[in-house]
Structure 1
Amino acid sequence: MTDILLIDDDPELGEMLSSYLEKEGFSMDSTITGDSGLKAAEKKGYELILLDVMLPDMSGFNVLSSLRATSNVPVVMLTGRGEEIDRVVGLEMGADDYIPKPFPLRELLARIRAVLRRYEVGQVEGGVMAAPAPKKNIEFGTVVINRSARHLTLDEKTVHLTSTEFDLMEQLAMNMGNVVERNDLMERALGRGMDFDDYVLNVHMSNLRKKLGANVSIKTIRGRGYLLATPSGGAA
């Protein structure tokens, strides 16, 4: 079973989600404070964390910051409905997705599965992790993308990308010099269909550009999508 950690101070929500997700093949632990959540995450290798913004002892953003200092574990933020600033801050700090409360259980399940698909967290029968097939590295300019290790270096220095950011970069690099349609990026890198708005894509792309700096040119093609220009700048 896939192990999930819920960090939320609502015990009733924890009981409800645990019962629902268990039927869908997930095992969920719950903590009600940020501190206990961080300790639980450090002790056990969870495959996804559901993190509430409002916690009794500290902000969910502080928890996210601590998590991101040492781990790229997938994080889905639980935010108050209409609190757009929470969603912006969460995504900019490295959350992979968000869902506003109250949420339909089926929608949460779809978000969880989409994020896990991006992380290639698949388990074969018996609980043994399936070994990923080796993938060819992508190199251009001073960038090296190790696709198997999901690791990127720029000027021989590691650039710490979240898994979502890595997925976006991988898709752009695989199609270097060509426009990647927004809908294709939404589906391949974010696991979202055309029925979702592309707000999350915009924020993740902005984060990616900031981390890569001026040495890597990701162009916005108005009305279509994005293009990773070749180092010479000849692609347009």
Structure 2
Amino acid sequence: MTTVGGAAGGVGGAVRPAGATKVLVVEDEPAIAQAIVRRLSAEGWTVEAVGDGLAGVEAAARLAPDVVVLDVMLPGIDGLEVCRRIQAARPVPVLMLTARDDETDMLIGLGVGADDYMTKPFSMRELVARTKALLRRTERAARAVELQAAEAPAPPLAIGDVTIDKAQRRVVRHGEQVHLTPTEFDLLVALANSPRTVLTRERLLAEVWDWVDASGTRTVDSHVKALRRKLGADLIRTVHGVGYAFEPADGVPADEGAGA
């Protein structure tokens, strides 16, 4: 186990007071783990690294980290099971690291609660940027909850046969609740706020992930596929080479295909 408390600094600055941000790194390759710890600590964050799955679950319960950087291939239990157990105990943003650029693995990771993923090898600069984006999203969501508590709750958004309750973060289709991850919910809201309007992958990446680099657009595609698995393939239309549009059940048929 490695714990480092870095000095404040780094490109763009931390999204909260330096000593307040806690990052858990679960990575079994010592060289990679140490490199991640050094780079994230340079942002002023307190970073702890562990090298196996069970230790990761224990550390997450003990530390209550603000974000977790989690490798998929781990000794003991793999990263997917670690993510599942962590999210069941206490929802937390998870950036998953995978050695395989396999979309099936990515969808499984998103399905157990990961918010984003990166394929090895990766740049430390991008790792920092994506970690900051996850932290900003968390703070933005917390502020939204505070505002909702201070104001009268907005009525649920009903579009076709889909009802989205932003205050309670609940989605219902065909009269049944659909369980979405926080990222899936935010993506659905971004699309549903502008029904039948094509939103580019870059715009969705900026609005939902607070991430403006086009290298992350595959993250959007994978999350759209995950949404389709849960809500049905007919709700989100692909406009090839551009992006996606939310199409209510009484809207224009998704004639451009349901594949991302």
- TM-score normalised by the shorter chain: which range applies? 0.7 to 0.9
Tell me how many residue pairs correspond in the alignment: 228
SS at match of 1:54: coil
* Residue 84 (structure 1) aligned with residue 84 (structure 2): no
Whole-angstrom distance in 2 between the partners of 1:122 and 1:229: 25
Deviations 1:6-53 (A, max 9, x none): 111244544443343233132222222111211222344322111112
Q: 1:230 — aligned with what?
A: 248
Question: Closer, same or farther in 2 for the Cα pair 1:64/1:227, shift >3 Å?
Answer: same
Question: Closer, same or farther in 2 for the Cα pair 1:23/1:71, shift >3 Å?
Answer: same
**Conserved 8 A contact 1:34-1:60:** yes
Deviation at 1:219, TM superposition (A): 1.3
Whole-angstrom distance in 2 between the partners of 1:154 and 1:172: 16
Whole-angstrom distance in 2 between the partners of 1:13 and 1:178: 42
Runs (4 or more) in structure 1 with deviation over 6 Å come to none
* Unaligned 5+ runs, structure 2: 1-19, 255-260
Deviation at 1:153, TM superposition (A): 3.0
Deviations 1:129-151 (A, max 9, x none): 89642273422244332324433
Whole-angstrom distance in 2 between the partners of 1:44 and 1:184: 34
Deviation at 1:87, TM superposition (A): 3.9
Whole-angstrom distance in 2 between the partners of 1:12 and 1:234: 52
Question: Closer, same or farther in 2 for the Cα pair 1:139/1:47, shift >3 Å?
Answer: farther
List aligned pairs for 1:90-105, cutoff 5 A. Answer: 90-105=109-124
* Residue 202 (structure 1) aligned with residue 216 (structure 2): no
List aligned pairs for 1:133-212, cutoff 5 A. Answer: 133-134=147-148, 136=154, 137-196=156-215, 198-212=217-231
SS at match of 1:49: strand
Give the TM-score normalised by structure 2.
0.74
Deviation at 1:222, TM superposition (A): 2.7
**Conserved 8 A contact 1:182-1:224:** yes
**Conserved 8 A contact 2:205-2:216:** no
SS at match of 2:139: coil
SS at match of 1:84: coil
What amino acid maps onto 1:73 in structure 2? V
Q: 1:54 — aligned with what?
A: 73
Q: Percent identity?
A: 35
Whole-angstrom distance in 1 between the partners of 2:48 and 2:95: 15
* Residue 115 (structure 1) aligned with residue 158 (structure 2): no
Whole-angstrom distance in 1 between the partners of 2:190 and 2:253: 16
List aligned pairs for 1:124-139, cutoff 5 A. Answer: 132-134=146-148, 136=154, 137-139=156-158
What amino acid maps onto 1:100 in structure 2? T
What amino acid maps onto 2:246 in structure 1? L
Deviations 1:188-232 (A, max 9, x none): 123332531522211110100111126x62111233221112342
Q: 1:29 — aligned with what?
A: 48
Deviation at 1:118, TM superposition (A): 2.8
SS at match of 2:215: coil
Question: Closer, same or farther in 2 for the Cα pair 1:130/1:21, shift >3 Å?
Answer: farther
Q: 1:7 — aligned with what?
A: 26
Deviation at 1:162, TM superposition (A): 1.5
Whole-angstrom distance in 1 between the partners of 2:30 and 2:96: 17
